[in-house]
A and B are shown apart, each in its own frame.
Chain A
Amino acid sequence: MFKYLPLLWANLGRKRLRTSLTLASIVVAFLLFGLMQTLRVALTGSPELAGLDRLITMHKTSFIQSLPLAYLNRVKGVDGVLVASSQDWFGGMYQEDRNQLATFAIEAPTFFEVYSEYQLPPEQKQAFLQDRSSAIVGKLVAERFQWKVGDTIPMRSNIWTRKDDGGNVWPLKIAGIYEASNGDNQSIYMHYEYLNESRAEIRDMIGWVVVKVSDPDRSAEIARNIDALFVNSSTETKTSTEKAFIQGFANQMGNIGKLLTMVAAAVFFTMLLVTANTMGQSIRERINEIGVMKTLGFSGRGVTSLVLAEAILVTAIGGLIGLGLAALVSKGLSAAVAQFFPVLGMPAATWGIGAVLIVVLGSLAAALPCAQAGRLKIVDALRKT
């Protein structure tokens, strides 16, 4: 097939403006597809990254409502709970409002027991555990702002105010830079005690509790037992597996995911029409040439294969450029929206799906022109000189 590449390539250069416009439409279609895949995964979460042995206990109504700190110790006492760790939302901004960074106030000692996938050098971990005004930051966010261990960063909260001066700035000393195998390398983790003792609004309240269980097979039973502790209280809880928690979040976004899929389908359908029309026009203009090729001995199947290969080649060029651009744009976007989507990035599977789409869409676009070229009678074609 490689021996036909010069012919295929030359055919693409036959009407450069038309080929460029067709390529542009394919590039845009695959760029949108790549971005929508990125957004869909960002919006619907990545349940596969969840730990199978972790549960999340949150307010029964919504995870934005707080739980009493006292719940943490009660959860720790439930049979089957290995360790439990609290988290609270800080809502961090750095320097400018647009630099919003996912910042959590955590119970530091237990955090690393619950999340073993967060790794940093032992001396940095120790420094963090010993200094309540320190924080650990993800590798990517440290690179983005060129932070080093030992730097003190003024982190603003868009939720809390300080009770001492009424301001909203918490100076955080960077004790360590972590790398997390679950993809969360854009977050900041500070001490809960530091936030709890200095904020003006509420005291001794936490956002949610992350629980590590001794036996994942008992997760349902343990979750029921945790919620049973607080039933009929003023603050009832809802405990689910971390996977279900992420999936539940995903389900809330289900309509957006469906909408994005529909938009992507519409874009691809339009691209299909554009490419099919271009290929059809191109074949109509080349009827005589196809007749000549058949005269020289090219079979109907051979000519059809060349038309098909040409359509797939143009779709592949446009598709790969589009997906490449989508990957670059996703990378750029991930810094801008890190607070909301710490794991934003074009999923690797998009390349695989893209490759399948290139072949399928290229083949569909070429179907009619292929049939025309294959059926063409030599004597009829040669009359079109």
Chain B
Amino acid sequence: MADEALVRLRGVAKDYKRGSETVHVLHALDLDIPKGDFLALMGPSGSGKSTLLNLIGGIDRPTAGSIEIAGQRTDSMSDGDLGRWRANHVGFVFQMYNLLPVLTAERNVELPLLLTKLSAAERKKRANAALKLVGLSERAHHKPRELSGGQEQRVGIARAIVSDPTLLLCDEPTGDLDRKSGDEILDLLQALNQQQGKTIIMVTHDPHAAARAKHVLHLNKGQLGHEAAA
């Protein structure tokens, strides 16, 4: 598994300063995640799950250690390079969807494509294709406040996959949804993993959600626990 790792972490630690106190959130983690995996990260609140996800996604930097994604060291990239790398390689799905309320679903999905050189027509075409993939074509011109929570999260997923990223990082994607909507989102993530071959790392508290993943990793007090097949 290690030889084919898409994500490779070595000795990754993360500390935060809280006043004069240093909080050690992650302790010298080693982790390999193969391409095409669907990994669930579980653990109690404050265990460092989201911090680990942020480090893999390049929106935070480790205090120590190295992070390599698809053969590229991301921990040593400049802010500008890291931004461009995120735009090309990572799709984020948030617990609270984080859609821009002033934009329609189509415009929200198009947002990452604004950073590319694609024409307006091509951007629109791709945004609509992503919306179709998540089953929301008919809601393309609705704003987030006109959508249900489940539909908002589908738009969030469409935005995450529209630029065809290497990695899909989901932070509690069903945490704000009822069971039915949550199941629909998990179905969608599973389909993206199985049919599109997307590598997915999902942080969750919910064992029911974690059961949809291929592997489950437990994190406790900043250290990785046992790995289990879901």
- Cα–Cα, bound, A4→B110 (Å): 11
Residue on A nearest B98 in the bound complex, by CB:
A292
B83:A298 contact, CB within 8 angstroms:
yes
Judge whether B229 is part of the interface by a CB distance below 8 angstroms. no
| B94 / chain A contacts, CB cutoff of 8 Å | 292, 382, 385
Q: Are B92 and A299 in contact (CB under 8 A)?
A: no
Q: Is the CB of A362 closer than 8 A to any CB of chain B?
A: no
In the assembled complex, the Cα of A289 lies from the Cα of B100 at a distance in Å of 6
Q: Find chain B residues with CB under 8 A from A302 CB.
A: 115
Please determine whether A10 and B115 come into contact, CB atoms closer than 8 angstroms.
no
- Tell me if A110 counts as interface (CB < 8 A to partner B): no
Cα(A293)–Cα(B102), bound, Å: 14
Secondary structure call for the B interface: helix
Which of A6, A7, A298 has a CB less than 8 Å from the CB of B115? A298
Do A4 and B114 touch across chains, with their CB atoms under 8 A apart?
yes
A289-305 near B? 1/0 per residue, CB < 8 Å: 10011111111101000
| CB-based contact A293/B111 at 8 Å | yes
Contact A385 B107, beta carbon cutoff 8 Å: no
Q: Which residues of B contact A14 (CB under 8 A)?
A: 101-102
Interchain CB contact under 8 A, A299 and B80: yes
Question: Is there contact, CB below 8 Å, between B84 and A7?
Answer: no
Q: C-beta contact mask, A250-292 vs B, less than 8 Å → 1, else 0?
A: 0000000000000000000000000000000000000011001
Which residue of the partner chain A has the closest CB to B118?
A3
> Is B15 engaged at the interface, CB distance under 8 Å to the other chain?
no
Contact with A along B93-104 (1 / 0, CB 8 A): 011101011110
- In the assembled complex, the Cα of A4 lies from the Cα of B114 at a distance in Å of 8
Interface size class of B (residues with CB under 8 A): 20 to 34
Does B79 lie at the interface of the complex (its beta carbon under 8 Å from any beta carbon of A)? yes
Which residues of chain A from 286 to 344 have any CB-CB distance to chain B below 8 Å in the complex? 288-289, 292-300, 302
Q: Are A11 and B60 in contact (CB under 8 A)?
A: no
Once bound together, how far apart are the Cα atoms of A212 and B26, in whole Å? 91
Asked if A296 contacts B120 (CB within 8 A), the reply is: no
Whether A296 contacts B112 in the complex (CB less than 8 A), given A382-B94, A385-B98, comes out as: yes
- The answer to whether B102 and A11 have CB atoms under 8 Å apart is yes
A–B Cβ pairs within 8 angstroms, 20 of them:
A3-B120, A4-B114, A7-B103, A7-B107, A7-B111, A292-B98, A295-B57, A295-B86, A296-B92, A296-B111, A297-B84, A297-B86, A297-B88, A297-B112, A297-B115, A298-B83, A299-B79, A379-B59, A379-B60, A382-B94
